[in-house]
């Protein structure tokens, strides 16, 4: 994607920055430059400062004209009124790409005459420059050096240890940067994030275009307050969703939401119904809740995620209550929990204790046969063709169950541990998870594990490392699956039409 004009925004080799100094906690510009340095950006850095000789250890320049080369990217964190002059100086220097962090352009002009914005648009056009913002937070790119873990980071507060093929464009910079502050949840780190701000020059359509063919992007996230080029956006989204899922969360719609947006980006936000109708035909997965946004992206990022072929869900549980609640929520969300055929039921019945249940949900009760829970029952259900999705309640860590035994001396000296359990405990994940993940991909049936021990429990992490999907509780994954089923259906229908 190095030919796309956005390439230099995400992968510049040199950056000049206006607005950073040496005092922590006072200016945005300083915080931003600290992040760039800490992220192991390997390119050149040229701070521009009228008075200082050095900024955070880098030689500072009084003006961009003094910088010994033309930087690939210029970042501006200055009061709005000086920005037109700085834009001109950048243009004269030959700069082509600018990230305009500063806010206070459009938001303040109550009659929306936008003179300051118009001015910088004109300047940038006259010099052939492109810019993101105003009122944005810049970029995050964990793929800037594909071979190692250097980053370009202007916005993330927390270091991202991993990277994924999740790319996001957001009309709220803080939203995009503050969803990833927790090292445990969600269990994926973003790949590329762009804070698009007020979109005076570069907008969502540009970024969709870029992400569409980007090999480091598998799943696209959008936070939308306003769509500027509606027709182009819808057309492009339709093309993208055939190849890659777009997950979008919309900030507009309510009275107060629209009020917030007007002061935030200056946009005129619309009616939620119009928005919904507009994107319904695009295949975009539209989300109302922020955790659902993260959950669904996390699911879709699962390696070789198997899209469900229909909406029939098979439930395997060792507890009646969660089984009933999963079934309730599945039906509430438009999924189907079919009663199994007689032949399937009698097969399951023969493998279960007589207190169990086998009609769907399969409730194994206190049967300790984990090979049935983890491998055999999922496989039987997949092979039956009677379900499209499997949810397994009770994927708990063996280690922590066994460690009970060692905990209390009063008990442990009296206990014998079954040898077959002790021998297998360390390799349990390979024994019970891997075969089911393989089957899941073979039959294209997503399998969701629920481990109430916690989202970040070591056993849950192991399952995720093997390519499984694990949640702490059962409602959120079911909500996600319902939306993913709709998307899968949309894709099937489009393909049928062609």
Q: Which residues in 281-300 contact its own copies (CB under 8 A)?
A: 288-291
Q: Tokens 């916005």 label which residue?
A: 155
- Region 431-490 residues binding its own copies, contact defined as CB under 8 A: 452-454, 457, 472-476
Cα torsion 220, 221, 225, 231 to 10°: value is 20
CA distance 35 to 386: 52
Among 132, 142, 217, 329, binds its own copies (CB under 8 A): 329
Among 357, 376, 399, 434, binds its own copies (CB under 8 A): 357
Q: Which window, 2-10, 145-153, 351-359, 378-386, contacts its own copies (CB under 8 A)? A: 351-359
**Burial of 361 (C-beta count, 10 Å sphere; 0-12/13-18/19+):** buried
> What's the full length of the chain, in residues?
498
Among 355, 383, 492, 494, binds its own copies (CB under 8 A): 355
Q: Which window, 10-18, 303-311, 400-408, 435-443, contacts its own copies (CB under 8 A)? A: 400-408
Among 66, 339, 426, 465, binds its own copies (CB under 8 A): 339
Q: Which window, 4-12, 229-237, 348-356, 378-386, contacts its own copies (CB under 8 A)? A: 348-356
- Region 236-265 residues binding its own copies, contact defined as CB under 8 A: 249-261, 263-265
Which is nearer to its own copies, 201 or 360 (by Cβ)? 360
Which is nearer to its own copies, 91 or 361 (by Cβ)? 361
- What stretches of 117-204 adopt beta strand conformation (E)? 130-132, 139-141, 152-153, 166-170, 192-195
Q: How far is the CB of 460 from its own copies (least distance, A)?
A: 10
- Region 48-107 residues binding its own copies, contact defined as CB under 8 A: 54-57, 103-104, 107
Number of residues near its own copies (by CB under 8 A): 112
417 binds its own copies (CB under 8 A): yes
Which is nearer to its own copies, 231 or 418 (by Cβ)? 418
User: Per the structure block, which two tokens stand in for 14?
Assistant: 């040199």
Which is nearer to its own copies, 250 or 443 (by Cβ)? 250
Closest C-alpha among 14, 27, 196 to residue 94: 14
User: Angle at Cα 99 formed by Cα 164 and Cα 189, nearest 5°?
Assistant: 15
Q: How far is the CB of 472 from its own copies (least distance, A)?
A: 7
Write the interaction track for its own copies spanning residues 106-135; mark x where CB under 8 A is met and - where it is not: -xx---------------------------
Cα torsion 208, 211, 213, 214 to 10°: value is 170
Which is nearer to its own copies, 174 or 235 (by Cβ)? 174
- The neighbour count for residue 215, using CB atoms within 10 Å, is 9
Q: Which window, 1-9, 22-30, 66-74, 377-385, contacts its own copies (CB under 8 A)? A: 22-30
Q: How far is the CB of 235 from its own copies (least distance, A)?
A: 26
Which is nearer to its own copies, 234 or 356 (by Cβ)? 356
Q: How far is the CB of 318 from its own copies (least distance, A)?
A: 7
Which is nearer to its own copies, 365 or 444 (by Cβ)? 365
Sheet arrangement for strand 130-132: 44-48, 14-18, 73-76, 97-100, 130-132
| DSSP structure string for 212-278 | HH-TT-SEEEEEES--SSHHHHHHHHHHHHHHS-EEEEE--SSHHHHHHHHHHT------HHHHHHH
Write the interaction track for its own copies spanning residues 30-49; mark x where CB under 8 A is met and - where it is not: x---x--xx-----------
223 binds its own copies (CB under 8 A): yes
Three-state SS letters, 324-371: HHHHHHHHHCCCECCCCCHHHHHHHHCCCCCCCEECCCEECCCCCCHH
- Region 143-202 residues binding its own copies, contact defined as CB under 8 A: 157-158, 170-176, 178-179, 181-185
Which is nearer to its own copies, 299 or 450 (by Cβ)? 450
- The neighbour count for residue 297, using CB atoms within 10 Å, is 24
Closest C-alpha among 280, 264, 279 to residue 135: 264
CA distance 373 to 376: 7
**Burial of 12 (C-beta count, 10 Å sphere; 0-12/13-18/19+):** buried
Q: Which window, 7-15, 19-27, 65-73, 343-351, contacts its own copies (CB under 8 A)? A: 19-27
């Amino acid at each position: 994607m190095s030919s796309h004009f956005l390439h230099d925004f995400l992968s510049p080799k040199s950056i000049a920055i206006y607005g950073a100094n040496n005092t922590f906690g006072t200016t945005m510009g300083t915080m931003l430059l600290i992040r760039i340095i800490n992220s192991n950006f390997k390119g050149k850095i040229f701070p521009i400062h009228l008075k200082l000789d050095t900024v955070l250890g880098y030689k500072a320049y009084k003006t961009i004209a003094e910088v010994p080369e033309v930087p690939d990217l210029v970042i501006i964190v200055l009061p709005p009124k000086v920005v037109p002059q700085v834009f001109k100086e950048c243009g004269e220097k030959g700069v082509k790409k600018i990230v305009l962090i500063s806010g206070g352009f459009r938001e303040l002009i109550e009659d929306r005459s936008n003179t300051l914005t118009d001015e910088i648009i004109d300047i940038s056009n006259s010099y052939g420059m492109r810019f993101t913002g105003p009122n944005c937070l810049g970029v995050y790119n964990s793929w800037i050096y594909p071979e190692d873990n250097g980053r370009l980071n202007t916005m993330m507060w927390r270091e991202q240890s991993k990277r994924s093929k999740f790319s996001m464009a957001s009309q709220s910079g803080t939203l995009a940067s503050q969803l990833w502050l927790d090292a445990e949840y969600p269990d994926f780190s973003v790949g590329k994030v762009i804070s698009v701000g007020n979109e005076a020059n570069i907008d969502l359509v540009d970024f969709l275009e870029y992400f569409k063919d980007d090999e480091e992007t598998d799943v696209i996230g959008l936070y939308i307050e306003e769509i500027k080029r509606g027709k182009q956006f819808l057309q492009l989204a339709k093309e993208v969703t055939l190849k890659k899922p777009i997950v979008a969360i919309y900030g507009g719609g309510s009275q107060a939401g629209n009020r917030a947006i007007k002061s935030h980006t200056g946009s005129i936000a619309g009616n939620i119904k119009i928005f919904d109708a507009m994107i319904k035909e695009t295949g975009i997965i539209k989300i109302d809740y922020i955790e659902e946004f993260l959950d669904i992206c996390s699911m879709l990022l699962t390696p070789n995620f198997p899209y469900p072929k229909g909406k029939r869900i098979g439930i395997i549980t060792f507890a009646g209550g969660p089984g009933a609640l999963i079934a309730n929520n599945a039906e509430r969300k438009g999924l189907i929990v079919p009663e199994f055929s007689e032949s399937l039921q009698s097969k399951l019945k023969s493998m279960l204790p007589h207190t169990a249940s086998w009609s769907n949900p399969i409730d194994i009760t206190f049967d300790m046969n984990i090979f049935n829970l983890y491998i055999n029952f999922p496989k039987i259900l997949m092979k039956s063709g009677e379900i499209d999705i499997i949810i397994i309640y009770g994927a708990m860590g063996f280690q922590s169950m066994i460690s009970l035994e060692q905990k209390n001396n009063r008990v442990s000296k009296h206990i014998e541990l079954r040898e077959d359990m002790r021998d297998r405990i360390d390799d349990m994940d390979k024994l019970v998870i891997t075969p089911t993940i393989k089957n899941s991909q073979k039959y294209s049936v997503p399998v969701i594990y629920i481990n109430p021990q916690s989202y970040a429990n070591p056993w849950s992490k192991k399952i995720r490392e093997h390519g499984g999907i694990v949640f702490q509780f059962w409602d959120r994954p079911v909500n996600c699956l319902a939306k993913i089923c709709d998307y899968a259906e949309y894709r099937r229908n489009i393909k049928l039409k062609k």
